[in-house]
A and B are shown apart, each in its own frame.
Chain A
Amino acid sequence: DAGVTQSPTHLIKTRGQQVTLRCSPKSGHDTVSWYQQALGQGPQFIFQYYEEEERQRGNFPDRFSGHQFPNYSSELNVNALLLGDSALYLCASSDPRVPYGYTFGSGTRLTVV
């Protein structure tokens, strides 16, 4: 089992551009959560997807959006990139039947220049 897979591992974007990050959950998991981890900070919750719908959302602007596909994989989209969006983006998958059984991916390192 590969666990949670995120792609790409690194990318560099220019301010104002749009970016899409991808996450494949652990086998058997159907819930995907996204976190942003700025340098020197703990992960901050962006949103969570379950049954292809956004179930919870953190304090992030509408520039951050997501999607979940029927196979439970998920995408995080960020529009109109700002320098402050530079961070490590983590995906965590879970099974609602296993309370708090989150499995984290290795993350995507986004640099906005």
Chain B
Amino acid sequence: AQRVTQPEKLLSVFKGAPVELKCNYSYSGSPELFWYVQYSRQRLQLLLRHISRESIKGFTADLNKGETSFHLKKPFAQEEDSAMYYCALSGGDTGANSKLTFGKGITLSVRP
């Protein structure tokens, strides 16, 4: 079974502060991990995925298989980062378009 846990519902920080959004997962096979973001009044969109090892809008996420975590980090938050963030998992060994399992999401609020 696939499971994604985002332990916090809300994170509120001041502009310029570091951000870490936590994500833990459970999957017996080889997982593909993603972070999706939903800005106010916009559609759900992919922020980054672990296989790309890229930094998007200053965000990075490292897959830690030992701790089964995929935390999202940004060293200096900006007001435009305020949004809903979802961690998601797909079974990497079940096909490139396998279903996504989402966490419950966390609201990031960046105050001026």
Chain B residues 56-104 with CB under 8 Å of chain A are 86, 88, 90, 96-104
Tell whether, in the assembled complex, residue B104 and residue A42 are in contact, meaning their CB atoms are under 8 Å apart: yes
B97 engages A99 (CB within 8 Å): yes
A31 to B44, Cβ gap below 8 A?
no
Minimum CB distance partner of A58 in chain B: B99
Binding site for B on A (CB under 8 A): 3-4, 31, 33, 35, 40-45, 48, 50, 56, 58, 90, 92, 94, 96, 98-100, 102, 104-106
In the complex, given contacts A42-B6, A99-B97, what are 18 additional A-B residue pairs having Cβ atoms less than 8 angstroms apart?
A: A3-B43, A4-B43, A31-B97, A33-B100, A35-B100, A35-B102, A42-B4, A43-B100, A44-B102, A45-B101, A48-B97, A56-B99, A92-B100, A96-B96, A102-B97, A104-B44, A104-B45, A105-B43
